Amino acid sequence: MDANKRQRYEKISIELTGLVGGKDNIQGVAHCATRLRIVLKNNDLADLKAIEDVDLAKGVFVAGDQVQIIFGAGLVNDVYEVFAGYNNMKNMSLSDLKTEANKKMNPLQRMIKALSDVFVDIMPGILAAALLTGLSGVLGNFAFVKASDTLYGINKLINISSGAIFGFLPLAVAYSACKRFGGRPILGIVMGCIMLSDSLANAYSAAQGTVEVTTLHIFGMGVDLVGFQGGIIVALLMGFVTAKLDIFFERKVPEVIRLLISPLLTTLVGALLLFTVIGPAGRGLSSGITNGLVWMTQNLGVVGYAVFSGLQQLVVITGLHHIFGAIEAQLLADTGRNFINPLMSVAIIAQGGAVLGYLLRHKENVKTKELCIPSFISVLFGITEPALFGINIRYKFPIIGGCIGGALGGIVAYFTDLAALGFGTTVLPGIALADPAGNGYLNYVIAHAVAITGGFAMTLVLGKFMDKTEEAAVSRGTAQGTSFSDSGNGGEAQESLPEAPGEEIFWGYTDGRQIAMEDVPDETFANKVLGDGVAAIPETGKVYAPADGTIISVFDTKHAVCFASKYGTEILIHIGVDTVNLQGKYFTAHVKDGDTVKQGQLLVEFEKEQIEKAGYATAIPMIFTDLPEGKRLEPSAPGKMAKDTKAAIIRKG
């Protein structure tokens, strides 16, 4: 990560930490493909409205246990790295985060989250199988492929590869579920192997009556020796049961024989439960889910399709959409076709159409373009969170327009009998999964065209009556974890601050020589990426408060302090260039987050000579990170700096 980006992400981290209630309110932090996920002790302390306006953030929402901030694919990794480091949570594992999060979740939320975690681990394999299935289907339609021995052979290998992955999917699910619930993953694999054993009659053949099924009698119960091919629900249940058995026997078996006896008992008891209880119950549950979905298509017809695709993205908001992966897998195993995938896909692209509609209405607004264009690109690859939480839900009427567009796309999917041969990917990549039967690829394109057009048009229509977006400028301060805002039209701050005088003086913050920001030996500071300010070349290793105010935060590495004056003006004092790499070595902080300080009070001491010997420049910029509108900075002329000399003045006008 280059210095410019790191400095920008440090500023985001400082601001974000204050807006979520300060470091003491953060229990854990992690990230997924698009979202920074923060577990807080008290979600009520988070200023969600203010977080929406944080630099690079595309939206924010609370999902049960977590405050989730949308940054987008790729970017979220870098923001997480700096934010987690700033809050000293970089070494926190995902399981640690889940432990903290689960304390705040209800049983339903825990179940859905656990189900999501199981499929996240094995999703690369599922995607590979799905795309290979689609590729094989496409190639199989071309006469020149059939006529060429080589191309036909390659396509056959592709088909075998995709079939093998789906064929052993229950094993992968059992492995991932066992791992997720705290068991040893290898025991999940063992249980998956038992489920797919060659000693059992193939489940598909048994269902067709083409193979003889052996029945055992155990404790008076008839146990059919039938495999669990396609038994995704059974595999989920067995992964959970195996994990709990493993944990139980590891605790109960004496240590001297534990290595031999514990896995033996786990496997033996697990296998008995598989064939006598879990298997039959799981098969019944699977049949119920599949039959229910098939019933919906046969009895509710076009209405069922339209309702599902119209409301599916509302389900995404709740996080319950993760359960669809298991249902789709079971639907494919039972029927060979997945009608849910294209319905989700048209629901997604319709929200993209809503984003374009909102963009057209606000095409002159630069911030809108920054939000809408990347969000729409994400939608094209099946990721709607930036669009949903950054625009559509935030401004209300686009989400309605997108839902209507999704319903229209679902109607087309119904009348064209559109379905997929896999699951796990949608929109542009999803076309590879479409069932080619009955002009499936063309119908896929038509359904998506109708959905995006519907979302776009309905957003424009609804916008005429519902678009009340305020474009007022917003400025904030976060002293002591409290957010201050000024709407720019006379609105009152959330917490009163003393009225700022005509000019606010910031005094020398170190003993040395004041220089212009442009002379700091770092492009980020010199180009004022983080804001305008002043700088100094220190003669001693001390940094003082430049005014009366409050410490917002002290970096864990102690090389930087974020400070707010008593009038709410925010500054960042950064000691040295790239000194974050020293990880706190040579720095001693004399204040902590939330401290009230007086002008001239010692904030940080540092070993200037040692830092210079380590190869780091010791210039100290003082940056005004969020100068309110209507105020300007007047730096003092370069020259001597001390606690009794003026470094800068903030004036009105």
* Topology annotation, domain 496-652: Glucose Permease (Domain IIA) (2.70.70)
Residue 293's pLDDT is what?
Answer: 59
In the chain, the amino acid numbered 453 is T
Residue 475's pLDDT is what?
Answer: 33
pLDDT at 493 over 90: no
Tens of pLDDT, residue by residue over 3-23, are 778 888 888 999 999 898 888
Catalytic residue among 321, 448, 559, 574: 574
Tens of pLDDT, residue by residue over 181-202, are 888 999 999 999 999 998 898 8
pLDDT band of residue 422 (cuts 50, 70, 90) is confident
Cβ–Cβ under 8 Å, residues 195 and 171: yes
**Rounded to whole angstroms, how far apart are CA atoms 433 and 339?**
11
Residues in the chain: 653
pLDDT at 411 over 50: yes
Residue 322's pLDDT is what?
Answer: 52
Most confident range (mean pLDDT) of 45-59, 233-247, 581-595 is 233-247
Asked if 321 is an active-site residue, the reply is no
Residue 481's pLDDT is what?
Answer: 35
Of 132, 66, 49, the closest CA to residue 105 belongs to 66
Q: Which residues pair with 543 in a beta bridge?
A: 604
Residue 572's pLDDT is what?
Answer: 87
Q: 275 or 530, which is more confident? A: 275
CATH architecture of residue range(s) 3-104: 2-Layer Sandwich (3.30)
What's the distance, CA 633 to chain centroid? 38
Q: What is the 3-state secondary structure (H, E, C) of 83-146?
A: HHHHCCCCCCCHHHHHHHHHCCCCHHHHHHHHHHHHHHHHHHHHHHHHHHHHHHHHHCCCHHHH
Tens of pLDDT, residue by residue over 322-349, are 557 667 777 787 778 888 889 989 999 9
Tens of pLDDT, residue by residue over 125-142, are 766 776 677 677 678 778
Residue 170's pLDDT is what?
Answer: 86
Q: Write 519-522 long-range contacts (CB < 8 A, 24+).
A: 520/577, 520/619, 520/621, 521/577, 521/617, 521/619, 522/3, 522/577, 522/578, 522/617, 522/619
pLDDT at 480 over 50: no
Tens of pLDDT, residue by residue over 203-224, are 777 766 778 888 888 888 888 8
Tens of pLDDT, residue by residue over 612-627, are 988 889 999 998 876 7
Which residues, at least 6 apart from 521, have a Cβ–Cβ distance to it below 8 Å? 577, 617, 619
**Rounded to whole angstroms, how far apart are CA atoms 265 and 275?**
16
> So where are the chain's domains?
3-104, 110-292, 337-466, 496-652
Asked if 372 is an active-site residue, the reply is no
**Please, how many CA atoms are within 13 Å of residue 513, restricted to the half-sphere of its CB?**
7
Entry pTM: 0.47
Q: Write 15-18 long-range contacts (CB < 8 A, 24+).
A: 15/54, 15/55, 15/478, 15/625, 15/626, 16/51, 16/54, 16/69, 16/83, 17/83, 17/86, 17/87, 17/553, 18/478, 18/481, 18/483, 18/552, 18/553, 18/562
Catalytic residue among 32, 217, 321, 562: 32
**Rounded to whole angstroms, how far apart are CA atoms 599 and 549?**
8
Neighbour count for residue 467 (Cβ, 10 Å): 16
pLDDT band of residue 313 (cuts 50, 70, 90) is confident
Strands of 114-247, DSSP E: 215-218, 221-224
Q: Taking residues 449-475, what's their average pLDDT?
A: 77
Q: Which residue in the block uniquely carries the two structure tokens 């290998």?
A: 157
Asked whether the domain spanning 496-652 has the same topology as the one spanning 3-104, the reply is no
Residue 442's pLDDT is what?
Answer: 94
H-run or E-run covering 311: helix 301-318
**Rounded to whole angstroms, how far apart are CA atoms 554 and 539?**
22
pLDDT at 496 over 80: no
Helix (H, G, I), strand (E, B) or coil at 336: coil
**What percent of the chain clears pLDDT 90, i.e. is strictly above it?**
28
pLDDT band of residue 465 (cuts 50, 70, 90) is confident
